[in-house]
Amino acid sequence: MADNFFKNKDLATDSLTKLYSREVIIEYANFLIGQGLPFCLALIDIDNFKNVNDNYGHSIGDHVIKFMAEKLKTALADRGVIGRFGGDEFMAIIPNITEYDAVWSLLREIHKAVDGARPPESKNLYITCTFGLSRFPTDAQDYDSLFELTDKALYRGKIKGRNCFIIYLESKHKNIQLHASDDTTISSMQMHNQIFRFLNSAPHIQDGIKDLLLFLSSNLMIDHIGIQTKKGLYFSQIYSLSDNQQFSSIENPFFMDNVSPSMGIYCLNDVSHLENINQKELLDECRKQGIKSTLYAGIFYNDEILGFIRADSTSVARIWQYKDMDLLITAANAIAMSLHYQNKSIEDL
């Protein structure tokens, strides 16, 4: 019955990609809902596309969009339909498949097919996508509600570091708050202000540090965050949705030794790269704790090393964003000042 929607119709297409237009895809979703036919609604966003336009120009940007449209259409094949939703975003409708494991397998296949795509017009580009998906009637009964849940899943994927797919689950994603891009600067200012407020308003420094790390874990959706010193791991805060709920000290000094005082940070988007630099022992320890990517921000005061904020991602290899690094560096510096002025070490707390 779903095929009836496309029969004997002259349906509008996007001029650049030749995919179905946004209006057609939305109309198709509402058609399936009206017929009571189960389907998945997916949003697909090209990661960091603004950087492509800024660094290579809009002509290359258009080539990237056309290239990814064809890649996505080929990967989806006859299992669904895809349209250009707008800008660097696509919307796909996948009828008949709503069982979680089947959806997961299909998304994994499509994600793998487009991961690391290299457009022929600029082969030095490495293009990735983030997918968000929800299901009718499992998650919602109308298009607007379904779209909101799909958008939440996509937002979750972006916050986790992009280059991944997220299937909406009420138990995990219901309380996600979407933030308008226009509020980015204000949100950043508020986040920086909050960092210092946690440390300045707490009756004891250890309470402030604990609350600050919990705040960062929740807002940046970091699976695990704590303070790593050469003597151990302190103040661990584990995000409620983390795949792993147990973390321990990593005694190997590699990460800490690579945090430069001038930059204040060392991050590894994918810990599997440790094997390429003869750090197999450290890689084994990360895998033991389920760590896919990690970041260390130095808690320095002058030339004194007081410790490191350690942030770990477990579900996917996270691409650490500059805004995340900025907040973690600020938090590390704020903790360093608090420790210095109270003449304490992490181990004293």
Complete DSSP assignment for 290-313: T-SEEEEEEEEETTEEEEEEEEEE
Fold of 2-178: Alpha-Beta Plaits (3.30.70)
What pLDDT score does 220 carry? 80
What pLDDT score does 93 carry? 97
Q: Fold identical between 2-178 and 182-343?
A: no
SS3 of residue 82 by DSSP:
strand
Q: How far apart are CA 228 and CA 221, in angstroms?
A: 19
CATH number for the region 182-343 comes to 3.30.450.40
Per-residue DSSP letter, 162: S
What pLDDT score does 186 carry? 46
Indicate yes or no: pTM above 0.85: no
For 278, other C-beta atoms within 10 Å of its C-beta total 9
Phi, psi at residue 228, to the nearest 5°? -100, 125
199-204 long-range CB contacts below 8 Å, 24 or more apart?
A: 199/334, 199/335, 199/338
Torsion of CA 42, 48, 51, 52, to 10 degrees: -50
What pLDDT score does 123 carry? 67
Q: How far apart are CA 193 and CA 9, in angstroms?
A: 56
| pLDDT tens per residue across span 271-293 | 988 988 899 999 999 999 999 99
| Stated length of the chain | 349
Q: Where are the domains of the chain?
A: 2-178, 182-343
What pLDDT score does 159 carry? 80
What pLDDT score does 180 carry? 52
Identify whether the C-beta of residue 62 lies closer than 8 Å to the C-beta of residue 101.
no
What pLDDT score does 1 carry? 57
What pLDDT score does 307 carry? 94
Q: What is the CA radius of gyration of the chain?
A: 23
What pLDDT score does 182 carry? 45
Structure tokens at 245: 């709920």
* Residue ranges of the chain with per-residue pLDDT less than 50: 181-184, 186
What pLDDT score does 183 carry? 46
